[in-house]
Copies of this chain bind each other. A is one copy, B any other.
């Protein structure tokens, strides 16, 4: 088998198993070892449609699934044969270095935390979500794993986010900012003020940033509680989608508009690509033992393949080891 192995939840996401299978094949052809976890007969049938298959894809049977209607924590505890659970167990048992699922986000957060477990010294794992900005990729952490946070969590998110930025997103010296409601020190909630104190002296720390600074990429690692982070990332994505939808609608409603649209297409395509969530693939649950990635439910094949590539890169770069060292150094 390959030097790096990624466990793929083949039953997770709106277009499972087709999309996870197609994405896994794409990544396997580049030499990444794949464990495809899910309903084995169904997976075999799906794989057959792809012709000659690389030898580095292994199927592991998991007859059960975690549904979006399930209570996440309870489902992880009571469905040992769910594809997501089995995939996480592969990482816990050292048979894969990373796990990726586009299934139920809450389920994947619970499965990763309960099965992979926290790295020593990590108080709470944080969901790191790569997003686009005009300065290049940025990371929002926490994107929703912990709705309510303490300053100590946010200080660790800064450390973990910087490792992700450097090792996987290729940011040379990632800057860190606290998301709040004014640039000056002293602006915001108690959580922000105390986090500011804790982050003094942290490499890359540039202080407070505001909502308007996110698309500018003023800080590459944006530290915030999971409530604010989740609202912000969904708003950011939704606003971009809305504007492009309106432009498309406007440009297809008249002949003049259609000509403008055709001529301007390279510009729109470039911009669209720069803010395409599939470009950056999945979110990362940082602070657990191994690499755990959670894709959008509607991820396409390209997004899934990109996610698996980044998972492999994370294993090769030893993201988990670097996070552990960073947490130990910051204690």
Residues of A participating in the B interface, judged by any CB pair closer than 8 Å: 134, 144, 147-148, 179-181, 188-190, 210-216, 226-228, 230-243, 246-247, 250-251, 256-257, 259-264, 266-268, 270-271, 274-275
Contact = CB atoms under 8 A, between A and B. Distances in A.
A212 B232 CA distance: 9
A190 B234 contact: no
Nearest to A215: B242
Given A189-B227, A227-B188, A250 B271 contact: yes
A194 B241 CA distance: 32
B232 A216 contact: no
Contacts of A215: 235, 238-239, 241-242
Given A231-B232, A232-B232, A257-B263, 12 more contacts: A179-B231, A211-B230, A211-B234, A212-B235, A213-B238, A235-B236, A239-B239, A243-B271, A247-B247, A247-B268, A250-B271, A260-B260
A236 B212 CA distance: 8
This chain: copies in complex: 2
Q: Is the interface of A mostly helix, strand, loop or mixed?
A: helix
A189 B148 contact: yes
A181 B211 contact: no
A14 to B, nearest CB: 16
Contact of A260 (B213, B267, B275): B267
B235 A250 contact: no
A103 to B, nearest CB: 16
A188 to B, nearest CB: 6
Contacts of A147: 181, 188-189
B227 A181 contact: yes
B251 A264 contact: yes
A233 B212 CA distance: 8
A180 B211 CA distance: 17
Contacts of A243: 240, 243, 271, 275
Nearest to A250: B267
A203 B234 CA distance: 27
Nearest to A267: B250
Contact of A211 (B189, B235, B271): B235
